[in-house]
Chain A
């Protein structure tokens, strides 16, 4: 089943076209990696899918789990199981991390027609989930991301993902700012969350994350288009040869 279907997507920021015709299909159970140089439009794609309103979609269609994604509000997308792990997670001073997550989870559960979790059941749930990312329990009761190091923030994003159990997760440069041990822990956490029902789109600069989160498909993004797609070995080739050679083979999507 197609969880995500992007057809000829064009988007611009303040009149500058950044995405120039993206086509992408992601099925349940798959992990896709989107790689590409700085400024190629990777984060813009992540932002457009999550519904960030700094971007204007000028052309194209996006279907998510059978629904027209572009007509949904950001919070509706989230409640329907679309999750974005932020490249720069935002600090929310004064708001307890676990309280925040409880509100978020209950908004999603209400949307699904499930009963809200009470504080006791929720606490039991997060104590179990926090182990997935090997995060210290003290982070549960600190304000959301406030005073967290770069690596702790990224780990917290994956912790959110573990609790909210999304259908489609977009990890926007989750590897940046992580040392090698943290990278491995975070990647292990993501792998534990993989299933036949959900899908993950990993946006990254570097191949190293893909050693741990092994993708089914790798796409190369250049100048707002996915110009080349292949198996996991494509990532290794990119690591060796850089991105410059890609445009010569542009159009040869697999």
Chain B
């Protein structure tokens, strides 16, 4: 028995392989947050006045708010005045092409397996790379432009397409939505912007790769995706950070807008540094993600694989406003060592005949605590709305925890909501059975965990699904035997 438990633990204790630091000159503002810092960020980015005003309004509102503590997560108080709110690798702020990118940066992304030079991309994925506070490179921009697709860093979008940014910024997640969204609205530094014009189906996956490098820096990115009538896009997001003893704050906002018959698929593989085996360090990940199915027959689908971060607090949600619109949420959340996750979704049914599907798979190992928190709400006019929710938890070892907090509110009589939940444990007998057939303990755990997550993985774009499976193996290494 002991041997098996040991293997479970060893499996869980695998090293984080993205923990290196890039040695690069950075242009940073001093730690702390006040109106001057916000003015400085806005000035550095040469922003129009309306955006500065929007930031200041958000900041003033944030000052009146209190940090939420309803989540099933414990952490020491965050000192918001100790965080650096802007850090950028020094380089010419406006790059003509890749050859102007600092070679150190290119090396960093190569090491992460994200080549930024377009000729190295085989899979046809356009990438925007965000390093600390700024976007350093966006690939395939010209090719997309021919179709009328805008895919750029957020800062560039503010410069080049201010009317679009102004129209949609804060239209899904208002700047006063919640504590972390308000903070982000005040200090957000960069992120990605996508606009798919009417009737265009984006021919390649769009992807943003986020990297926190500088110490004591917060990362506050903002992503805005707009799919006009009949447009379709699939967007991927990945993230890593160096290993550091101190916790770092990441508070992002993602807004999606789908008009009539538009489809947006948003996939995340979140692998921020999770902290060490004793729970020191790691990213505090407080993220607000929301999509608005504004048009009829529109569809927004969230798929997330959350393996990193010391703390994960995120609820990618869908507002189902257009009649017959569809919202989906597929999630795998893994906690190991001392990681904590409180994650789930909100499906708000407003239009008629709206449909939503929730599939959540929580995996807990080590001393990890994993909570699913979800709201399914069917408003009075959302007649004939449908929801199906499935929340499964898998436990590895006996020191971890799984919790489920489903909320269902149905305010009409023609709607239907179904909720299924299971909790299971990888048993020693399962591991032994696999070993008796010739598999190692690690392979056995991978097999069982991947089997458990299958319904979510098959929603991911193919290259990503393979990555996600590997990542899961690495995240859980040492946790089972």
A: residues with CB less than 8 A from B are 50-54, 73-75, 77-79, 83-84, 86, 89-96, 100-101, 103-105, 107-108, 111, 143, 160, 164
Is B447's CB under 8 angstroms from A92's CB? yes
Q: Which residues of A contact B441 (CB under 8 A)?
A: 75
The binding surface of chain B is classed by DSSP as: helix
The answer to whether A54 touches B430 (Cβ under 8 A) is no
Q: With A53-B1, A54-B1, A94-B448 in contact, do A75 and B435 touch (Cβ < 8 Å)?
A: yes
B439 contact set on A, CB distance < 8 A: 75, 103-104, 107
Decide yes or no whether B437 CB sits under 8 A from chain A.
yes
Name A74's contact: one of B430, B436, B448, B450 (CB within 8 Å): B436
Asked whether B432 lies within 8 Å of A74 as measured between CB atoms, the reply is yes
Min Cβ gap B332→A in Å is 12
Give 13 new A-B contacts, CB below 8 A, not counting A75-B439, A107-B439. Answer: A53-B3, A74-B432, A75-B436, A77-B436, A78-B438, A84-B436, A86-B433, A92-B433, A100-B434, A104-B434, A107-B437, A107-B438, A160-B437
16 contacts between A and B (CB under 8 A): A52-B432, A53-B2, A75-B435, A78-B436, A90-B433, A91-B430, A92-B430, A92-B433, A93-B452, A94-B448, A100-B437, A103-B443, A104-B438, A108-B438, A160-B437, A164-B437
A54 CA to B435 CA, complexed, in Å: 14
Contact call A93/B424, Cβ cutoff below 8 A: yes
CB of B448 within 8 A of CB of A164, answer no
Most B CB contacts (10 A, CB to CB) among A53, A75, A78, A84 go to A75
A90 adjacent to B452 (CB under 8 Å)? no
Residue of B nearest to A103 (CB): B439
Q: How far is the CA of A246 from the CA of B265 in the complex (A)?
A: 71
B453 CB contacts on chain A under 8 angstroms: 94
Smallest Cβ-Cβ distance to B453: which chain A residue: A94
B424 nearest in chain A by CB position: A93
CB of B423 closer than 8 Å to a CB of A: no
Within the assembled complex, what's the spacing in Å between the Cα atoms of A173 and B192?
Answer: 62
Closest A residue to B433 using CB positions = A90
Question: Which of chain A's residues have a CB closer than 8 A to the CB of B452?
Answer: 93-94
Chain B residues whose C-beta falls within 8 Å of the C-beta of A103 in the assembled complex = 439, 443, 447
A7 CA / B1 CA spacing, docked (Å): 25
Which of B4, B439, B450, B453 counts the most chain A CB atoms within 10 A? B439
Query: Which residue of chain A lies nearest to B361 when distances are taken between CB atoms in the complex?
Result: A94
Given A53-B1, A75-B438, the answer on whether A94 and B433 have CB atoms closer than 8 Å is: no
Decide if B420 is an interface residue (CB 8 Å cutoff): no
CB distance from A144 to the nearest CB of B (A): 8
Interchain pairs with CB closer than 8 A, number: 80
- Residue-wise, chain B 120-132 has the 8 Å CB interface mask toward A (1 for contact) of 0000000000000
Is the CB of B143 closer than 8 A to any CB of chain A? Answer: no
Give the chain A neighbours of B430 by CB distance below 8 A: 90-92
B423-468 with Cβ < 8 A to chain A: 424, 427, 429-430, 432-441, 443, 447-448, 450-454
Q: Which residues of A contact B448 (CB under 8 A)?
A: 92, 94-95
Contacting residues, chain B, for A54 (C-beta < 8 A): 1
In the bound complex, what is the Cα–Cα distance between A143 and B430 (angstroms)?
A: 13
Q: How far, in angstroms, from A164 to B429 measured CA to CA in the complex?
A: 20
Contact A100 B447 (CB under 8 A): yes
In the bound assembly, the distance between CA atoms of A101 and B441 in angstroms comes to 16
Complex CA distance for A63 and B454, rounded to whole angstroms: 41
Instruction: Give the nearest-CB partner of A52 in chain B.
Output: B432
A95 touches B432 (CB 8 A): no
A93 to chain B: which residues have CB within 8 Å? 424, 451-452
A77–B424 CA distance with the chains assembled, in angstroms? 29
Bound: A110/B303 CA distance, A: 36
Which residues on the B side are within 8 Å of A77 (C-beta)?
Answer: 436
Q: Looking across the interface, which residue of chain B has its beta carbon closest to that of A101?
A: B437
- Give A159 Cβ to nearest chain B Cβ, in Å: 12
Q: Complex Cα distance A96/B433, Å? A: 15
Of B435, B437, B450, the residue contacting A73 (CB under 8 A) is B435
Q: How far is the CB of A36 from chain B (nearest CB, A)?
A: 23
Query: How would residues 337 to 352 of chain B score, 1 for a CB under 8 Å from any chain A CB and 0 otherwise?
Result: 0000000000000000
User: What's the Cα separation between A73 and B435 when bound, in Å?
Assistant: 9
Residues B429 and A90 in contact, CB atoms below 8 Å apart: yes
Max count, chain A CB within 10 A of own CB: residue among B1, B430, B433, B440: B433
Chain A, Cβ-Cβ closest to B426: A92
Say yes or no: A53 contacts B451, CB within 8 Å. Answer: no
Among B433, B436, B447, the one with the most A-chain Cβ atoms within 10 Å of its Cβ is: B436
Interface centre among B435, B437, B441, B454 (most CB of A within 10 A): B437
Closest B residue by C-beta to A94: B451
Alpha-carbon separation in the docked complex, A78 to B434 (Å): 10
The distance in angstroms between the C-alpha atoms of A91 and B426, with both chains bound, is 11
Alpha-carbon distance A98/B1, docked complex (angstroms): 28
Provide the bound-state CA to CA distance between A226 and B424, in Å: 40
CA distance A101 to B3 in the complex (A): 25
Nearest to A107 among chain B residues (CB) is B438
Taken together as a complex, chains A and B put the C-alpha atoms of A51 and B439 apart, in Å, by: 13
A50, B435: Cα distance in complex, Å: 9
Nearest opposing residue in chain B for A83, CB measure: B436
A74 touches B447 (CB 8 A): no
CA distance A172 to B441 in the complex (A): 23
Chain B residues whose CB sits within 8 angstroms of the CB of A79 once the complex forms: 438
Residues of A within 8 A of B427 (CB): 90
Inter-chain contact B434/A92, CB cutoff 8 Å: yes
Shortest CB-to-CB span from A66 to chain B, Å, is 19
Tell me whether A111 and B438 are in contact in the complex, defined as CB-CB below 8 angstroms, given that A93-B424, A94-B454, A100-B447 are known contacts: yes
**Closest residue on chain A to residue B3 by CB atoms:** A53
Q: How far is the CB of A92 from chain B (nearest CB, A)?
A: 6
A100 to B454, CA, bound (A): 14
Chain A residues, CB < 8 A from B450: 94-95
Given A89-B433, A90-B430, A143:B451 Cβ within 8 A:
yes
Which residue of chain B has the shortest Cβ distance to A53 in the bound complex?
Answer: B3
Most buried by B among A52, A78, A83, A93: A93
What A residues does B424 contact at CB under 8 A?
93
Q: For the complex, give the distance between the alpha carbons of A143 and B88 in Å.
A: 50
